[in-house]
Amino acid sequence: MEKLFSYLYQCLGIISHESGYRIGLILWCFLFLELPRYALTNLIILLQSVLPSSGKAGQEEYLRELLQNPPLVSLIVPSYNEEKHLPASINSFLAQSYPRLEIIVVDDGSNDHTPQLCATLARQGKIIYLRNHLRGGKSSALNSGLAKAQGEFIVTADADTILDRDAITQILAGFADPEVGAVSGNLRPQNTEENLLTRLQAIHYLIAINMGRRFNAWANMLLIVSGAFGAFRRRLLEQAGGWDKGPGEDADMTLKIKRSGSNIAFRHQAVAYTHVPETTGGYIRQQLRWNHSLVAFYLRKHSWTLNPFQVGFDAWAWAGALDVLFYQFLLSYSFAAYLIWLVVFHRPLAAPILAATSFIYLIDGYAEFLMAWLASDRKSEDTKLFIYIPLYALFVCYFLRFIRLWAYTGELLWQPSLTDPHIPQKVQNAA
């Protein structure tokens, strides 16, 4: 700690004698790339959350009308070896305040006690139970559920997701706009208190996922409905031909719906608690899988988002794709380039400059957390995370960024998404 403060003191001394131009050169990565994107967009959502708007009133009016004559909603829950988490999840599904809900659990070839658990619940009339005797992957399970579902709206949730009592009701309010084809729910970790890693992920969900998706939905640039909790108009799922083989089947389906001309909404009042990785290895594997999909989709399968000459090109999808690629893909490489630049061109000062940069990221982390906390509906939950912001800033700035760099480089060179272990080999071969 003493060495860190020594570095900070040195860098402050250097900066105090430099021109604004030189300071900009030294801190270009943060000042010109990250600060405008994250701090300013969070400020927009903070203001939007406290100011009245016709959109909020319209959603509440739509919800009142919907509940007067509620359409059937089908909740599809793909499950593979989830005997540990499934009972709590199903209890939360059964406790939903929405009056017309059918729960379809699709067992994708589990070899634990999931089949016995689901068969018992089906006999009790609590769920509709489908079983794929051979594992086909999550997309296969979702498609089996869609074929059985009767609802006008389809909600998907993971087998380890726990829904707030009003989550289904709240997510349906996102369909108040007839242009909306899918609505993403608001995710929070259910195992936040497990260890330091889960607490850091909770902060990331609050700042990057909650606030980030609220901004993208507000700007009509949202291109992801999380598979852990999302809602769709049934007819659009059928028009899209169901879910394709994953990984990243949630983003894939969202992009297919966006290509059909529909908008994607985010409903932060529709809260679901998901289980996040508790080990470093599990977290790295999850992030690699998610970030492999980013390259596979935007640069390959859904290149229409970037190409105005392809059928289905949409200016808002183009803006959303550029946002994702620039601030996740390119920013990871630019930060690595920034570190190399420091060492090569400012080697004697690299350590104090990096210390000062880390300190600036720390201040920015507190500012972003404060704005997310002020915009949050669950301040008592989020207040407990405040003391972990110093570690979170380093976690995102260095650890997560280099996992992404590893994922993007690997996908560009070797395409590991084509052999993802989450997809059964026979499904990969058929695809």
Together in a domain, 136 and 96: yes
Together in a domain, 59 and 38: no
Closest C-alpha to 196, from 384, 405, 329, 375: 384
* CATH number of the domain where residue 261 is located: 3.90.550.10
Query: Is residue 382 in some structural domain?
Result: yes
The reported pTM is 0.90
Across the beta sheet with 153-157, what order do the strands follow? 128-132, 101-108, 73-79, 153-157, 229-233, 180-189, 263-274, 162-163
State how far the Cα of 332 lies from the Cα of 324, in Å rounded to an integer: 11
Query: Is residue 311 in some structural domain?
Result: no
Together in a domain, 44 and 58: no
Together in a domain, 79 and 167: yes
**Are residues 330 and 29 in contact, defined by beta-carbon separation less than 8 angstroms?**
no
Number of domains present in the structure of the chain: 2
Q: Which of 275, 293, 311 is the last residue of a domain?
A: 293
Domain around 423: 2-48+320-430
Together in a domain, 354 and 381: yes
Q: Which of 251, 276, 293 is the last residue of a domain?
A: 293
Query: Is residue 114 in some structural domain?
Result: yes
pLDDT tens over the chain, length 431 residues: 555 556 555 555 555 555 454 555 566 666 666 776 777 788 888 888 777 665 677 788 888 888 899 999 999 999 999 999 999 999 999 999 999 999 999 999 999 999 999 999 999 999 999 999 889 899 999 999 999 999 999 999 999 999 999 999 999 999 999 999 999 999 999 999 999 999 999 999 999 889 999 999 999 999 999 999 999 999 999 999 999 987 789 999 999 999 999 999 999 999 999 999 999 999 999 999 999 888 888 888 899 998 888 888 889 899 998 888 888 888 888 888 888 887 888 777 777 777 777 888 888 889 899 999 999 999 999 999 999 999 998 899 889 989 999 999 999 898 888 777 677 766 666 65
Together in a domain, 229 and 110: yes
Together in a domain, 163 and 138: yes
Together in a domain, 41 and 26: yes
Q: Where are the beta strands (DSSP E) in 263-310?
A: 263-274
Together in a domain, 347 and 412: yes
Query: Is residue 348 in some structural domain?
Result: yes
Together in a domain, 283 and 326: no
Together in a domain, 64 and 208: yes
Task: Tokens for 309, please give them.
Answer: 């000459």
Task: Tokens for 400, please give them.
Answer: 């997560």
Query: Is residue 419 in some structural domain?
Result: yes
Together in a domain, 275 and 386: no
